[in-house]
Amino acid sequence: MNGEQGAQSIASHARLEGAYRSEKPRLMARLRAAGRSLEEAEDIVHDVYVETMERISLFANIHNLPAWINALLTRRMIDTWRHDRVRAASGETDVAEETLREIITGVGLDPLDDFVRSSLIDALYDAVRALPVPQRMVLEAQVFRGLTFQQIAAATGESIDTLMARKRYAVRSLSRALRYWIEA
């Protein structure tokens, strides 16, 4: 029985890999058409395939794997849309005073200049709000709640590599936004 399960597992992995290769461009295009950034679309597709991999034992009962993956993506898009609505309705997340001081000092501005500080806070709020939800969640968990990647991974069930990639994308996006703010 063990050899049969191993062969079935290998076949399931091969089937999933084939579905990933054939469906990823369509899924990415669908997410991009729904207004998601490239990074957020990649995160969602990655999450869908991780969720699919977790259910690999069900593959024998799934006749049309690409359709099943597409249904998972649809549910994930609806969840993301609902989360965006809840997030927008709940208001802003306060940025820690210490974090603002570090950013202002790092940029080379006078932290005592109230106008610069107020403008930077507004730019930072806008930039954080513009981040895709998964990236914003990782950034907020680390910056505002002081959690480590391991703690976030344990709480969310996401891999540490995925969380690190999301933070990297978030930092790049914030850097671009603040660079634009400085140059404007």
Kindly report, residue by residue over 30-56, the tens digit of the pLDDT.
Answer: 888 877 778 888 888 888 888 888 887
Confidence at residue 147, expressed as pLDDT on a 0 to 100 scale: 86
State how far the Cα of 121 lies from the Cα of 102, in Å rounded to an integer. 12
What pLDDT, on a 0 to 100 scale, did the predictor assign at position 92? 44
Beta carbons within 8 Å of 120's beta carbon, 6+ residues apart = 100, 103, 104, 107, 109, 178, 181
**What is the reported pLDDT for 173?**
83
Band of pLDDT at residue 87, cut at 50, 70 and 90 = low
User: For the segment 120-177, what is each residue's pLDDT rounded down to a tens digit?
Assistant: 777 888 888 888 899 889 988 888 788 888 899 899 998 888 888 888 888 888 877 7
pLDDT given at position 94:
46
Q: What is the CATH number of domain 97-183?
A: 1.10.10.10
For residue 69, which of 47, 87, 90 has the smallest C-alpha distance? Answer: 47
Distance CA 160, CA 164 (A): 6
N-to-C CA span, the chain: 67
Say what the pLDDT of residue 125 is: 80
Q: Where are the domains of the chain?
A: 2-90, 97-183
Mean pLDDT value across residues 67-87: 80
